[in-house]
Structure 1
Amino acid sequence: MPQLYLGPWFAILMFPWLDFLIHIPTKVLNHVTPNELTLVGTEKHKTESWNWPW
């Protein structure tokens, strides 16, 4: 029975798994965080209170 011959089936199985384990995660991770994160300054903005003339 030719389907029991392991040679071509093993290569067909291993090349897609190597692609999934090596190439695809690196491409996905490059799109998740493409740029370095920048910290927002800790300075608070000065707000002026409203003066309602009642």
Structure 2
Amino acid sequence: MPQLDPAPWLMMLTLSWVTYITLIPNKVVKHKFPNNPSPQSTEKPQTRPWTWPWS
């Protein structure tokens, strides 16, 4: 069965993961957000009960 022979796909899988692990995190870490996050208020919003039309 050709699926059990690791020669054709194991090296490609290994090289793909090595590339992913070494290059992609560097690109993600260098990304800068355009806006700084602002803290949210601690007050809870006022909610109103829902009026159901059939009740």
Q: TM-score, normalised by structure 2?
A: 0.48
Q: Bigger radius of gyration, 1 or 2?
A: 1
Q: TM-score, normalised by structure 1?
A: 0.49
